[in-house]
């Protein structure tokens, strides 16, 4: 896994922890917004990395790649499904515009 991708993953995981510790009455909304931003920043870097590898033909094949297994093993369960969705779109060659990601 590239250093940049690993860095973005670690930033995402840090934000995830902050989000889990946020007080619902104080700053939970701000932390959730930051988490969403951090997730899509990670996905942008992941997408660039994904372009550099031989494209898997299926989601199952992609999930067996060591680098992607390493990512999946670190992701909290609630972040896994959106990651899998983004990965599936990449495999299908579908590129979302930034506005589509936040809707």
- pTM of the complete model: 0.86
Q: pLDDT averaged over the chain? A: 90
Q: Is the pLDDT of residue 101 over 60?
A: no
**What average pLDDT does the segment 5-13 reach?**
97
Read off the pLDDT band of 27 (50, 70, 90): confident
Element (H, E) at 83: helix 77-91
15-20: Cβ within 8 A, 24+ apart: 16/76, 16/79
Q: What is the DSSP letter of 76?
A: -
Return the H-helix or E-strand segment holding 17: helix 3-21
* 58-70 average pLDDT score: 97
Residue 35 has pLDDT above 90, yes or no: yes
Mean pLDDT of 9-22: 91
Residue 47 and residue 98 in contact, taking contact as beta carbons nearer than 8 Å: no
Q: Give CA 69 to chain center in angstroms.
A: 13
Position 95 scores a pLDDT of 78
């Amino acid at each position: 896994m590239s250093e940049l991708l690993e860095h973005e993953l670690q930033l995402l995981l840090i934000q995830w922890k902050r989000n889990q510790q946020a007080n619902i009455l104080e700053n939970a909304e701000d932390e959730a917004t930051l988490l969403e931003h951090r997730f899509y920043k990670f996905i942008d870097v992941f997408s660039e990395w994904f372009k550099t590898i031989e494209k898997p033909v299926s989601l199952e094949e992609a999930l067996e790649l060591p680098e992607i297994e390493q990512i999946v093993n670190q992701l909290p369960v609630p972040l896994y499904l959106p990651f899998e969705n983004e990965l599936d779109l990449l495999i299908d060659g579908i590129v979302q515009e930034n506005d589509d990601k936040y809707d």
